Amino acid sequence: MSGNIALLNAALAAAKAENRAALVGYLPAGFPTVDGGIEAVKAMLEGGCDVVEIGLPHSDPVLDGPVIQTADDIALRGGVRIKDVLRTVREAHAATGAPVLVMTYWNPVDRYGAERFAAELAEAGGAGCILPDLPVEESEVWRKAAELHDLATVFVVAPSSRDARLAKITAVGTGFVYAASLMGVTGTRVSVGEQAADLVLRTRATTDLPVCVGLGVSNPEQAAEVAAFADGVIVGSAFVKRLLDAPDLETGLAGVRELAGELAAGVRKRTGAVRQSR
């Protein structure tokens, strides 16, 4: 069974055709439980997310802030395994038809086997993989496996990335480019800042791939701000926080669905001339 990179490309193209940014949601698998996490991902998509990323919980998530680290800890203590990540992908995609990616550090995939992971992710209906700590120079094994199974390989760029480095990264990435809006770890911010807009502009100069911005967006106003210059708005910690703060799962699911709707409205607010076209 082939993967769904075409579905991912279609979802991003559909958002562009509507003259808006795509809304990309993130949740780690196994949080608050495997079953609860699957329902939460479905709620995100039902609420208005165009694409979702499923995190593979890691004991040392260097990119993730305290909110996602807390969720990862809960998932790991619950015994989450790669099979649970793949099940989350499978059930979320099957229920909604939406493109679902996995976001993971490289070590778990390397230990599992790149070819095996790519084959099983594709079989589950996955659209691709985001690998924030895999250097482009060391990515050939994964990229070959991903290409064989029709999966996107999404790399992360940061404000510190020089133009030549951006060109090197975007030359081999597929699906979209994940632009980290700020230096540092994930988490909600008071403002997403001007660094993100500059990074998107510099990245677009090197590629025709959509550029999606993450790290910091937590409310509709910030979503609208980022949607004015990016092809996609990525939100993770704010969704996790809705689940962490809820007294029970049903309340948490309602909160996730509500937030997705608010953010979906946000990415539709600032369109037309204010968005910088590629």
- Cβ neighbors of 52 (< 8 A, separation 6 or more) are 24, 25, 26, 27, 41, 44, 45, 92, 98, 99, 100, 101
| 85 vs 96: CA distance, rounded Å | 17
Q: Which of 213, 179, 181, 210 is nearest to 194 (CA)?
A: 181
**How do beta strands 152-154 and 128-130 pair?**
parallel
Give the H or E element holding residue 8: helix 5-17
257 burial via Cβ count (<10 Å: 0-12, 13-18, 19+): buried
| 254 vs 93: CA distance, rounded Å | 20
CB-CB contact of 88 with 45 (8 Å): no
| 107 vs 120: CA distance, rounded Å | 17
3-state class of 239 per DSSP? helix
User: Which tokens sit at 117?
Assistant: 């992971």
User: Which tokens sit at 180?
Assistant: 């980290």
Active site residues: 53, 64
